[in-house]
Structure 1
Amino acid sequence: MKTMIGTSKNFAWILAVQFAVALAFLPSLVSADQILKKFRPNYKAVLMADADTGRVLFVEQEHRKVYPASLVKLMSVLLTFEAIEAGKTSLESIVVTSTKASKIGGTQVFLKEGEEFTVRELLKAMIVRSANDATLAMAEHVSGNEDSFVRLMNQRAKELGMAHTEFHSPHGLPPSRGEKHNVSTAYDLFLLARFILQNHPQYLEWSAIEIDSFRAGTFQLVNTNRKLMRAYNGMDGMKTGYYRAAGFNLVSTAKRGERRLISVVMGSPNVKWRSRITSYLLDKGFNEYQTTELVEAGKIISQTVLVEDGQHKEVSIKPQMSASLLLGPGEEDKVKLFYQLPEKVVAPVEKGSMLGTLELRMGGKTMRQIPLVAAEEVPTQSFFASVAESIFNWSEGDE
């Protein structure tokens, strides 16, 4: 296998080199924004990132441990989606409200003990209204009891790389005496939000709802983030969180054209500041970063691969698809293209068959990987041509 690199503008080949570890691209190295510094007393941590590649475009205090409040419901929703996917339950399965769920406090839909709802209805109450009683009822439905569900939450957090997160409840209410706060970070919550968007985009079908009904139309579900969603172009979710010690938290996402961004704001003193900072972060992303095509689908590259026993000695290569990245001014030259191709292949080679990969890297981190395919067919060399070539090579060797 051979590896070649080049810039997005220059395909000159050089020997493979070791890039700096991916830490060079971690959020903590993104420079601070001067305007946002003025907002600093009004948040504990902030983050803004490209949802597509996961590239973090701006952060401050991304690994600071904070209280997520109802943002923990993102994990509860994810585990419900995964239980449905695994066939353990379904959107139409019936959930029976327990005594414990009926007596929970905070924002709720006032479930009564023994009252029955479908998983679909409770998910809507969890996502749109941030209902604590619906969340606890769902946790008990998925795992049998709250403690078992919380263990599952923490296990899943580790699997997702949420290194600084510790869950103690599925709903995020402030703890009672003797209990512990849920703890997370802006970066961990970004990882969770992006995973949901990539693997369960149906979440947005609920989080984009501003107002809906519950309990056969007798109870109104009002989205806890409806004012900002209405005001901000392209915003369609994701989750709010608040109690006094936590402050006002928000994980949000917005899409304009093909660009989708995620922002995280933790610990604001009120909704106004939370919304203002969120809007600023997303505006910064949409205004300062543009989608830039770096690789054109079907355009033959300069490198070829040798073909053994083929009618042609080599085969041309082309990218199977185009590749774009969200880039700021002057960043295009920082993108490195890594071509991974074999030294040679054996005929026959079918047109369009995959022969290698092309990686787009920034700061040592792979942002995109696309297949490289044969641009043409190379049939097997005929027997007589093969014999003739062998004789020719033999005679050349005698000289």
Structure 2
Amino acid sequence: MKKFLCLMLAIVVLFPSGVLGQKISDTSKTGNASKKVETKETEEIRNQNIWVPTKNGVQRATYEEALKIESLKAKPLTELTKSYLLGDYKSGKILESYNIDEVRAMASTSKLVAVFVVLDELERGSISKDDIVLIDREAALLGGSSYKLKENDQRTVQELLEASLIVSGNDAITALAKHIAGSQEAFVEMMNDKCKELGLKNASMVNPTGLTNYEIEDYNKMTTREMFLLARELIMKHPEVLEITSKDKIEEPDRNFVEYNTNPSLGIVEGIDGLKTGYTNAAGRCLISTGLQKGEEKKSLDTRLIGITTGSPSDWARYVAANKLMEEGFKKYKYIYIGDPENAITSIKIENAAQDKIDLYEKSQGSILWDGKSEIKREFIFKEDLKPPIDVGETLGSVKYTMNGEEILKLDLINKDRVTQKGILFKIKDMYENIFINIREAA
């Protein structure tokens, strides 16, 4: 027995790996397996029925994100923002608002002013989309949102324009500004001139980016009402801007660059196709959003709304506030058709006309922005002293539509049949009928 034990001890001493190696190896494998399990457990599980923006594009929310979103949805917009506005693009009418006349820091939403200037210059022909812009040191060193450009990189005006809007590149818009005006200072003058041209009396621009300038302790600013005017004018003058802001990302494989659109509503709220986000400590989280709700055939027209939220305390608060504003706006407001030229809307009697009554039709069809609940009333107004004969298509009156006591539409009323004069027999018949009616009433 002693000889056996000595033999085993000698084997262990001489060949330790042979006996213990398998044990050590198993322990190592177990350790790796534990690490794998641990990694899997901490991996984001995106399986909730809520879509959210992520660094990898729009994806389903995690459980924790979904809980956060639901808790924020329970709050009113006044707790999620410092100001908000919902406006109709077509008419320029402000539909819903809160605190919209206080001058506020704009952060990168002010890039819309800079982009307006760039697009004006493109339209004027002073620059071209294919112009090559050399990136200088000043632009390359800018912090904040970035297109990740390096000194001496070269990009076209179009590439820099897209980067300014989609990923809010401070380097991109600065390079454009210097390409157009020679310096940031000269370009800022052009931005302020554009604000004056648009009638934005409270607007003040200090740089193309929207970053706070701590040297002068100032930043780009205007009221929320003016942001609405700016966005509306930009889309009206340069609708091509929406072709850029509706893109979900910029991807450049040659330099391993992939960045998704900063707009937290894009790809989540149906119809959203713009416009610009912003964030600084002074401004909070901001978003100037716009989208198009498609009309229903023979019922409604396409309706574009512009929504603005400012001063949100977090990205999730901005996400909830902006989406809530636009989603509810699309559900509530739409342009509906008013008027039916094909069917008679009313009739009138005309003295000495051969016909007992004259059917009247609306000459054309119009449209009004309806909030889905307000009663639409109509009032007929007929011309006085109408006498036959009357040719087809004459304007014999009008119909006035009102909503909430305000006139919203007025359409001409016309006849589709010629109105002829009564003959002598009709006149005699009417005379005797009037005599008998008078006798009956006198009795």
Normalised to the residue count of structure 1, the TM-score between the two structures is: 0.68
SS at match of 2:103: coil
* Counterpart for residue 248 of structure 1: 285
Aligned-pair identity (%): 30
> What is the identity, as a one-letter code, of the residue corresponding to 1:279?
N
* Counterpart for residue 246 of structure 2: 208
For the Cα contact (< 8 Å) 2:200–2:226, is it kept in 1? yes
For the Cα contact (< 8 Å) 2:376–2:403, is it kept in 1? no
Residues 287-298 of structure 1: pairs in structure 2 closer than 5 A: 287-295=331-339
For the Cα contact (< 8 Å) 1:295–1:324, is it kept in 2? no
* Counterpart for residue 44 of structure 1: 82
* Counterpart for residue 94 of structure 1: 132
Q: After alignment, is 154-163 or 131-140 more displaced?
A: 154-163
TM-superposition CA deviations, 1:331-361 (whole Å, max 9, x none):
534x9999xxxxxxxxxxxx9xxxxxx9999
Residue 316 of structure 2, aligned match among 272, 276, 279: 272
* Counterpart for residue 203 of structure 2: 165
Residues 10-49 of structure 1: pairs in structure 2 closer than 5 A: 38-49=76-87
TM-superposition CA deviations, 1:180-218 (whole Å, max 9, x none):
211112111111111122222211211111222248553
> What is the identity, as a one-letter code, of the residue corresponding to 2:288?
V
Change (3 A) 1:59 1:52: same
Aligned residues: 322
* Counterpart for residue 111 of structure 2: 73
Q: CA deviation at 1:260?
A: 1.6
Change (3 A) 1:48 1:293: same
Aligned partners of 2:162 and 2:327: how far apart in 1?
29
Q: CA deviation at 1:134?
A: 0.4
Larger radius of gyration: 2
Q: CA deviation at 1:328?
A: 4.1
For the Cα contact (< 8 Å) 1:301–1:318, is it kept in 2? yes
2:192 paired with 1:154? yes
Aligned partners of 2:379 and 2:232: how far apart in 1?
25
- RMSD of Structure 2 on Structure 1 (CA): 4.0
TM-superposition CA deviations, 1:293-324 (whole Å, max 9, x none):
2345799999xxxxxxxxxxxxx998666433
> What is the identity, as a one-letter code, of the residue corresponding to 1:193?
A
> What is the identity, as a one-letter code, of the residue corresponding to 2:220?
N
Residues 205-354 of structure 1: pairs in structure 2 closer than 5 A: 205-214=243-252, 216=254, 218-225=256-263, 227-257=264-294, 258-295=302-339, 322-330=366-374, 332-333=376-377
Aligned partners of 2:137 and 2:415: how far apart in 1?
65
Q: After alignment, is 110-119 or 164-173 more displaced?
A: 110-119
For the Cα contact (< 8 Å) 1:95–1:117, is it kept in 2? yes
2:224 paired with 1:180? no
Aligned partners of 1:366 and 1:84: how far apart in 2?
41
Aligned partners of 1:156 and 1:359: how far apart in 2?
39
Normalised to the residue count of structure 2, the TM-score between the two structures is: 0.62
Residues 123-142 of structure 1: pairs in structure 2 closer than 5 A: 123-142=161-180
Larger helix share, 1 or 2 = 2
Aligned partners of 2:216 and 2:106: how far apart in 1?
19
Aligned partners of 1:359 and 1:143: how far apart in 2?
52
> What is the identity, as a one-letter code, of the residue corresponding to 2:335?
T
For the Cα contact (< 8 Å) 2:115–2:161, is it kept in 1? yes
Q: CA deviation at 1:172?
A: 0.4
Aligned partners of 1:361 and 1:88: how far apart in 2?
48
Aligned partners of 1:145 and 1:206: how far apart in 2?
25
* Counterpart for residue 355 of structure 1: none
Q: CA deviation at 1:123?
A: 0.8
Change (3 A) 1:165 1:49: same
Change (3 A) 1:53 1:364: farther
Aligned partners of 1:336 and 1:182: how far apart in 2?
49
For the Cα contact (< 8 Å) 2:335–2:367, is it kept in 1? no
Consecutive unaligned residues of structure 1, counting only runs of 5 or more, are 1-34, 303-315, 339-350, 352-357, 377-399
* Counterpart for residue 59 of structure 1: 97
For the Cα contact (< 8 Å) 2:119–2:238, is it kept in 1? yes
Q: After alignment, is 278-287 or 78-87 more displaced?
A: 278-287
For the Cα contact (< 8 Å) 2:206–2:218, is it kept in 1? yes
For the Cα contact (< 8 Å) 2:337–2:365, is it kept in 1? no
For the Cα contact (< 8 Å) 1:291–1:326, is it kept in 2? yes
The one of the two structures with greater contact order (alpha-carbon pairs below 8 A, sep at least 6) is 1
Change (3 A) 1:134 1:268: same
